[in-house]
Structure 1
Amino acid sequence: MSGPVSPPDVIEIRGIRGFGRHGVFDHERADGQEFVVDVRLELDTRPAAASDDLADTVNYGVVAEQVHRAIESDPVDLIETLAQRIAELCLADRRVTATAVTIHKPSAPISVPFDDVVLTVQRRAGESS
């Protein structure tokens, strides 16, 4: 019988900001707005800890740049679609076993006072989208 399974290690990048033109309304596409994204990457960091080599872990600077590009390119109607796109790019690195992507849309077109609209999707490597 094997021992207990260790919980995954986690890298989080919070508050990646970008200007996007996502939304279902014409003014959202024309005017655009700021989106803020948090990503959580689950992986085993022990190989990197042992080698002290960036090549043995996920480069969070590169991930942040990819997320930023995803925010600012190819407008979509729904933040659900944007979140899925970002989750797929996070899982493209085979070392990432699961991800959580949170999209903040603080300027969403809502007619009452509010602080933020937030969507979080959670995906595991090997799951169908």
Structure 2
Amino acid sequence: MTTHDNLRDGGTGHPDRLSVLGIEAVGHHGVFDFERRDGQVFKVDLTLGMDTRPAALSDDLQDTVDYGSLVSAVKQAIENDPVDLIETLAQRIADVCLSDRRVGWTTVTVHKPDAPIQATFSDVALTIHRSRQ
């Protein structure tokens, strides 16, 4: 890998990126009782850093991340086990992404567009970046 490649992939050795954007699910996360009771829509954007060359060579789903299964697991992470903070939810989703050994890093953005804020706004979003240790 060249120095240029190393800079492009953040030094992780995984220059390829797979993104799934706009995953929606209803979760019951938040610090207020009504958020836990009523729930609200959360939206999630994912980017995975991985080497896609094995899949490109084989043309076999077994050699890459099955993003359909990944989306199902992320939806379950949103829909189950309420937490207070979107920081906790984002980490949970990052852990789901990193559970596949082929994923070297992930960037997760959790959107909470209906956050209980007494002002006009379009979105609250938290973005985290996590790498395999």
**Is the structural similarity TM-score above 0.5?**
yes
Residue of structure 2 equivalent to 1:38: 45
Q: Aligned pair 1:66/2:67, yes or no? A: no
Cα deviation, 1:27-65, whole Å, max 9, x if unaligned, reads 100111000001100000000001111100000111100
**Counterpart residue type for residue 113 of structure 2:** P
**Counterpart residue type for residue 25 of structure 1:** F
TM-score normalised to the size of structure 1?
A: 0.94
Residue of structure 2 equivalent to 1:119: 126
CA RMSD of aligned residues (A): 0.9
Residue of structure 2 equivalent to 1:14: 21
Q: Distance in 2 between matches of 1:95 and 1:31?
A: 37
Q: Distance in 1 between matches of 2:92 and 2:40?
A: 18
Cα deviation, 1:82-129, whole Å, max 9, x if unaligned, reads 000000110011110000000000000000100000000100001xxx
Q: Distance in 1 between matches of 2:99 and 2:79?
A: 19
What stretches of structure 1 move > 2 A for 4+ residues in a row? none
Q: Distance in 1 between matches of 2:75 and 2:21?
A: 12
Task: Within 5 Å, give how 1:47-62 maps onto structure 2.
Answer: 47-62=54-69
**Counterpart residue type for residue 114 of structure 1:** F
Question: Matched residues, percent identical?
Answer: 59
Q: Distance in 2 between matches of 1:32 and 1:52?
A: 40
Q: Count matched residues.
A: 124
**Counterpart residue type for residue 105 of structure 1:** K
Aligned pair partner of 1:108 in 108, 115, 122: 115
Please list every run of 5 or more consecutive structure 1 residues that lacks an aligned counterpart in the other structure: none
